[in-house]
Amino acid sequence: MPEDLIPILVGAGQVTEKGVDPSAAMGPVELMAEAAWRAADDAGIAREKLAANLDFLVVVKSVLDVLQVEGLNVGIQNPPEALAHRLGTVKAKQYITATGGNTPQSLVNRTAEMIAQGKVRFALLTGSEAIDTMLKAFKAGLNLNWSIPSSLEPEPLFPERDGTTEEEKSHGLFLPINTYPLFENALRGHYNRTIAEHQKKLGQLFSRFTEVAAENPYAWFPEKRSPEEIAAPSQTNRYIGFPYTKLMTAMINVNQSAALIMTSVKTARELGIDESRWVYLNGCADATDHWYVTDRLNYFTSPAISTVANRAMIMAECIIDEIDFFDLYSCFPSAVQITRDMLDINETDPRQLTVTGGLPYHGGPGNNYVMHAIAAMAEKLRNNPGKKGLVTANGWYITKHAIGIYSTDPNNTPWQREDPVSYQRNIESQPHPESVQNPSGQGTVETYTVIYGREGEPVQGIIIGRLEDGRRFLANTPQDRLLLENLTAYDALGMAGSARQEKGLNIFSPE
């Protein structure tokens, strides 16, 4: 690859809009346009030059893209096309991503490769959410009229694939808040902690994230919180999915947008973009774990995260001890802990694990949070020339993974992204427990959670268990309040019981 085709990030823009009357608030397209213009300002180029030079425009799929709320008209049929019209660009190829929090980093990785191959000259990557405005408008009876029709469907850049099986959906695993606690309780068993000990650790972990959010001008909740405030359930901090309280969960009800501008060294020089704005993608990788939750090897490790970290660090010619700044995907504590463990970062390591404050405190704008993390990382590195920053991204349920290692210094060797197919096969070949859809007989709990209602009451138990022959099964518990309360008061890992089918659902009854 010619040296002048080295891919670089040259502009980053972020927008967080709070406290604005819904009738005057920006919609998703307006948010993306504002973030794009800020990214142009950050790169030191005129906004007109951004529009004139764009040949590649990609929008991260929004939650609102698939919502049809009666009376609000919020669905935008072709977001990339709508944004291109707003920016005044006419020649850019337009794409939309698939669903998943991994997509911003995967998008950067893919775009960098196309720049290095000479297929893309000047790229804008962006996304937005305006769910907070939408909810406030719905309550106020306002018609937002964000809907923008189009004669064309947006062209997908990544294939879309559902993250759950029908059996998983029927037992409650289609919601992240129902699924990630299963990983959390398995982690507690892996760490050999009591419920109280582990809850304390979770509060300590995320309290450090709030320290960063408190200093971040783009954070939705710029407030430092104590470990006790985060960990202890209360009237204002109820359990959502045991052991997660409200303050441990990603905040999706935000109005936020972020945008990145990427190009080559050659084009940056042609456009007069100062080298002080250049940030290099030194290393990157993408992979998936066994796709469905019930097919995982276990619920406290991720072979895919371990693999992408290894591949990215080989590409970047560094080791984990040489990384100065991190942003580990943080929708829930289990995502952070599994990633931290797979990166071989010790629990007592003093380095911060976020540059934004994380999804619960910075805000988790749908699939686009990591775009904010990369923007924040770029600013961090420009203020600390020569340092290295690592960003991880996670889609579905610790399923899809992407990683990027960034620096203001280029690699010592030619830039080349390894084809993920070369290492994905090794991950998929790893054996995992056989699952049975119609369990019957004695078994034990492998991991579990209890889902809570809005009034703070336990409403559903979800069990992943093993039959006596080692086969894995998924089940709900009987809807007995005392049983559900006991599952949160006493450790149920390894608990014995019996599994059966009842009205099309698997039921596990503890002995």
pLDDT at 185: 98
Interval 265-318: pLDDT, tens: 999 999 999 999 999 999 999 999 999 999 999 999 999 999 999 999 999 999
* Domains, the chain, ordered by start: 3-163+252-428 (3.40.47.10), 174-248 (no CATH), 441-510 (2.40.50.840)
Contact 447, 186 (CB under 8 A): yes
CB-neighbour burial class of residue 418 (10 A; exposed 0-12, middle 13-18, buried 19+): middle
pLDDT at 83: 97
Residue 96 has pLDDT above 90, yes or no: yes
170 DSSP β-pair partners = none
Write a three-state SS string for 40-108. HHHHCCCHHHHHHHCCEEEECCCHHHHCCCCCCCCCECCHHHHHHHHHCCCCCEEEECCCCCCHHHHHH
pLDDT band at residue 64, thresholds of 50, 70 and 90? confident
Cα(155)–Cα(93) distance, rounded to whole angstroms? 9
pLDDT band at residue 72, thresholds of 50, 70 and 90? low
Average pLDDT over residues 329-338: 98
Contact 9, 108 (CB under 8 A): yes
Residue 67 has pLDDT above 80, yes or no: no
Residue 411 has pLDDT above 70, yes or no: yes
pLDDT band at residue 69, thresholds of 50, 70 and 90? low
- The helix/strand/coil state of 123 is strand
Task: Show the tokens assigned to 465.
Answer: 């268990």
Cα–Cα separations (whole angstroms), residue 117 to 141, 278, 283, 290 = 50, 19, 16, 31
pLDDT at 70: 55
Task: Show the tokens assigned to 393.
Answer: 């991204």
The residues near 440 (Cβ < 8 Å, ≥ 6 apart) are: 499, 500, 501
Cα(250)–Cα(359) distance, rounded to whole angstroms? 5
DSSP E strands, 379-477 = 388-395, 400-407, 441-452, 458-467, 472-476
Q: Quick one: angle between helices 28-43 and 79-87, nearest 10?
A: 50
Residue 358 has pLDDT above 80, yes or no: yes
Task: Show the tokens assigned to 260.
Answer: 């990145």
Interval 368-404: pLDDT, tens: 999 999 999 999 999 999 999 999 999 999 999 999 9
Residue 468 has pLDDT above 90, yes or no: yes
Contact 154, 80 (CB under 8 A): yes
- Whose structure tokens read 């929004």? 62
Name the least confident of 144-148, 253-257, 309-313, 451-455: 144-148
Name the least confident of 75-79, 176-180, 186-190, 241-245: 75-79
- The helix/strand/coil state of 125 is strand
pLDDT at 75: 78
pTM of the model: 0.97
Cα(450)–Cα(242) distance, rounded to whole angstroms? 5
pLDDT band at residue 71, thresholds of 50, 70 and 90? low
Q: In what order do the strands lie in the sheet with 400-407?
A: 93-96, 56-59, 122-130, 255-264, 7-16, 279-288, 400-407, 388-395, 325-327
Residue 73 has pLDDT above 70, yes or no: no
